Chains A and B, each alone.
Chain A
Amino acid sequence: MDTLFHVAPFTGYVYPNETVIPWTVLIAIYPYLTGLVAGAFTMSSLYQVFGMQRFKPVAHFAMLTSLCCMLIVPLPLLLHLGQPMRALNPVITPHITSAFAIFGYAAGFYVILLLLENWFVFRPHIVAQAQQRTGPLGWFYRILTLGSYDLSDRAMRYDRKWIFALAIIGIPGAHGLHGYVGFVFGSLKSREWWSSDLMPPIFLFSAIISGVALLIVLYAISCRLRKIPIDLDCMKGMTYTLWGFMLFALLLEAVEFASLVYRGREGIEVILEYVSGPLIVPFWIIQIGVCSLVPVLWLTYMIWRGVGGNALIAGTVLSALLVLVGVLMMRWNVVIGGQEIAKTGKGLLTYHMPLFERESAVTAAVLLIAPFVLLAAAVRLFPPWDDTNGPH
């Protein structure tokens, strides 16, 4: 009996049924991963759709990153479900007034879109490998070619058109997908901490900054691993992108928090008690202070002073790492925080994350690492590096 559920300690008055916190750390991981998907896709779109040539070195890599993250996204949800065997039900009998029901279709649609776009992008490589390789890997590539080795100019023209079209559809797709994750929380009127029209844009902008930050870090690591110099122009572009979107994200969060406090609806006393108590370290110090203000000020300084070279790279990569932690903390503070404030508006609960269980710290860590294991394999199968732009 005891292992079936964890009782959350509480202060004040909470509804009896609230003492078991329904959504655990895995539900905090889930929007984080979708955010990385949307953010990484945004980076690739800047090149594919908006034609920003400076992002060419990371464009294909971004798309592959996006796909690898997307493939892991359903896992935290699946592990959270009480009945994982019925996981297909939301697709079989989707209740379209439910934000979760849409997830099946939206995510499915988006996975298909990413697969298609990656396929078109990597088709020349697939065809080349299919012709060279033998053995199981050769078969793998040959199946992927769908039996057509056509790389003529006409075929490539078609491919470019498809890539462009898919990238255009992907922009509302990726951002819609993540905006909807914000809607999952923002549309619930039962929790004052979540119930906000600004939730979708907040999730969206924090998603974009997390994706950009991830690419900055991954790109730096990949260059180190491949022993090639980092493309400074590209890095500088990503610095600007990160900085710009961060300002938006911070502004939106500030507005949301200000209006929550300013409106001061029922239960605000408890929210303020929460914000000024249990939230001091995870929210004020880590999320806002160390992981938002420090990087944004640092980036501002580097842009203002025109810092370049290795200093820029080091500064940007460190800022990006902080941002990645900050966005993860933001997801935690929204998902877990919302549930630690009781629906009664008269009490607070405390969530304790178990260490080894189905929904625990270890699972969360594995899920956070999994996309990068996938990615490491994917870059070997489909090298995304554009080698025309720099020395090999």
Chain B
Amino acid sequence: MDDKPESGEPPEAGRRKFLGLVGGGSIAIATTALLPQAAAVVVPDKPEIPGYDWNKHHWAFGIDATKCIGCLRCVEACKVENNVPTDANHFRTWVERYVTLEGEEKTRIDSQHDPVNIQAAGAEGKYRFANRYKDAKVEKAFFVPKLCNHCTHPACVQVCPVGATYKTEDGAVLIDHTMCIGCQYCVQACPYGARFFNEEIQATDKCTWCYHRITKGLNPACVEVCPVSARIFGDRNDKQSPISVFLRNNRVTVLRPESGNAPNVFYVGIDKEVS
């Protein structure tokens, strides 16, 4: 549905109405009378962002896990760029390490929040993978960067009781911190663990694809600092953008496709264990 941003009606509107009836059930009918004139409002073109028209863009993110070296510069950059609490429990983006040892059936997974890795980094707020498997017989190992999938059908937006989180016309899922009541229902609803409750602002927080950067023609901070181009970002409306080239040249997959969320972060080179 979102593939056609030029259509007049907001693409989510029809779906929202339908889900509204289903979700609200009979109570929805009772509340309709109290609902304001949502349908009657003339929808203005676009928000007042200087030099930017959200109708002309359709952002998407790619991850080439075969290139990731697990240096965690992206994690650090994200924390700095977005004032994310620096502890090991709040991340807008993170990197997972999958290691299968010879003779072991179960893949070992860790991320920068693992105590061993925090110790290797020296402190929370510094990010580094400990070289814990250097002497082991490793059959297979790889890194997988993770972030908010900015889903086409975001479960988090569906459950937000107040409309503090929403999907923009250009494809980002954003959070309005001034509306968030901090119930954390969206944190529960996200199957990817992308959301967290930011105690410093008492509101839910997550990746915005650095919306303040991409609307100024910059890359998200994590893409900016990735030294090996494992992270790819761009506009799908521009056929020459890195993401369009990436999607054209690779057979990609998404995380947990069965959830029906229809993620917009596309992966190359991940294994069956990754979800």
Contacts and interface: CB of A to CB of B under 8 A. Distances in A.
B196 A17 contact: yes
B94 interface: yes
A20 B89 contact: yes
A101 interface: yes
A12 B24 CA distance: 38
A262 interface: no
Number of chain A interface residues as a range? 35 or more
B88 A190 contact: no
Contact of A106 (B27, B34, B88, B179): B27
Interface string A86-120: 11011011111111111111100100000000000
Interface stretch (B47-55, B183-191, B226-234, B238-246): B183-191
B28 A96 contact: yes
B193 A98 contact: no
Interface in B152-192: 155, 158-164, 179-185, 187-192
A5 B199 contact: yes
B193 A89 contact: no
Contacts, number: 166
A188 B195 contact: no
Given A189-B191, A345-B275, A4 B110 contact: no
Contact of B193 (A1, A17, A77): A17
Contacts of B190: 190
B113 A90 contact: no
A18 B187 CA distance: 9
A104 B196 CA distance: 24
A189 B155 contact: yes
A346 interface: yes
13 contacts: A12-B109, A16-B111, A19-B88, A23-B188, A82-B184, A82-B203, A83-B203, A86-B180, A89-B162, A96-B31, A99-B23, A176-B25, A190-B190
Given A89-B164, A345-B275, 13 more contacts: A17-B187, A80-B183, A82-B203, A86-B162, A86-B180, A93-B179, A94-B162, A97-B158, A98-B160, A105-B30, A109-B30, A189-B259, A344-B109
Q: Which 4 A-B pairs have the closest CB atoms?
A: A82-B182, A15-B193, A101-B161, A100-B161
Interface of B: 16, 19-20, 23-28, 30-31, 34-35, 87-91, 94, 96, 109-113, 146, 155, 158-164, 179-185, 187-197, 199-200, 202-204, 259-260, 275
